[in-house]
């Protein structure tokens, strides 16, 4: 996906910042805001989803993404 791990962290942080300010964006909308393509953005979102950092809601053919609010574990 991304060769440089720091780029991956930076992109993930930007995605989460955008979704915090504007919840409910599609892959296409996020890709447009970050100047990348939909396929790349879908990969980034999949990783964030696997780590429990974002969730999505299916609306027709589109996935609408939201930042997942972490539940405090006391750690």
Taking only the tens place, the pLDDT of each residue in 56-69 is 999 999 999 999 98
Number of domains observed in the structure of the chain? 1
Q: Please report the pLDDT score of residue 64 as a whole number.
A: 98
Q: Residue 9: pLDDT above 90?
A: no
**Taking 70 as the threshold, does the pLDDT of residue 45 lie above it?**
yes
CATH number at residue 17: 1.10.10.10
In a domain, 61, yes or no: yes
25: closest CA among 71, 52, 63, 75? 63
Mean pLDDT (the chain, rounded): 87
Residue at 48 is within a domain? yes
pLDDT for res 7: 72
Instruction: Read off the pTM.
Output: 0.81
Domain hosting residue 16, numbered range = 5-67
Answer yes or no: is 73 within a domain.
no
Question: How many other β-carbons are positioned within 10 Å of the β-carbon of residue 9?
Answer: 11
Asked whether the predicted pLDDT for residue 2 surpasses 50, the reply is: no
Q: For residue 54, with 0-12 CB atoms within 10 Å meaning exposed, 13-18 middle and 19 or more buried, which class applies? A: buried
């Amino acid at each position: 996906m991304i060769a440089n791990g720091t780029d991956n962290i930076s992109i993930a942080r930007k995605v989460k910042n955008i979704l915090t300010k504007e919840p409910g964006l599609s892959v296409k909308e996020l890709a447009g805001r970050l100047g990348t393509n939909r396929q790349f953005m879908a990969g980034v979102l999949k990783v964030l989803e696997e780590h429990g950092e974002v969730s999505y809601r299916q609306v027709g053919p589109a996935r609408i993404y939201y930042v997942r609010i972490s539940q405090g574990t006391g750690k």
